[in-house]
Structure formats: structure tokens, C-alpha cells
Amino acid sequence: MAPAVSSAPQKSYIEQLDSSMGERMVCYTIPTAAAIAHYIMRRRIKDWKEDVYQSWLNLLLAGGAIFGVVDHLWNGEIFLIGENVLLDLLLGVVITTAIVLIWDVLVMIDKRRCTASQTKSG
């Protein structure tokens, strides 16, 4: 007997990957937790209270957290948990790492700019 031929269209690789990952729903929790933790640390560590660079990081983390929450509210996913929680949390770690790396680049650029302006005036 010959195998039955399916009339259903084949899913592309992207469609298969997307359906296997489930919906992203808790990735916003990591940037939110990082923003809250950094805010608390900034209030408790003396040297960080007046440090402009720590203020920048706090604002960037808060912005990333607010973006994630607004995005999930907009899509009606704020209190839903996807099928693959670890993958969602990993995405949150990647987002938070990107925010910290961008902050690091901004700090390096600002320090170089300050050094260059001091060299010219000095």
C-alpha cells in the first residue's frame, strides 16, 4: 500500500521554528527586574548615587523595561506564560545584555570626549 499524500501545505523552517518556540510572553521580566535591582543598588551604594553614568544605566534599563511592559500590554500578553519559559527568559537576558553593552559604549564615548576636551583646553 502506498503512503498517503498529505494535502496540507508544508510549513517553512521559520514557521516551524516559530510554532515550536511558543509565544513570547515573559521576556519583559528580566529587564524589569534588572531596572528595579539597579535602582535599589543605586540608592544604597554611596558612589553610585551621584554618578551620572549609573544614572544613564538606570534610565536605559527603565526604558527597556517600560518598552517590554507596554509591548506586552498592547498585545494582551502581560500575564500570560508561553510554552517555553526558559527561551522567553533567555530573550530577556539578551535584551538586558544589549542594554548594558549600549550603556558601556556610551560611557566609553563620553569618557573619550571628556579626555579630548581636557587635552585641548589644558
pLDDT in tens, the chain (122 residues): 666 655 666 766 555 545 544 455 788 899 999 999 999 999 999 999 999 999 999 999 999 999 999 988 888 887 777 788 899 899 999 999 999 999 999 999 999 999 888 887 76
DSSP state letter for 8: S
H/E stretch holding 72: helix 52-74
Spatial CB neighbours of 62, under 8 Å, sequence gap ≥ 6: 35, 39
Parse the chain into domains and list their residue ranges. 22-117
- State pTM to two decimals: 0.74
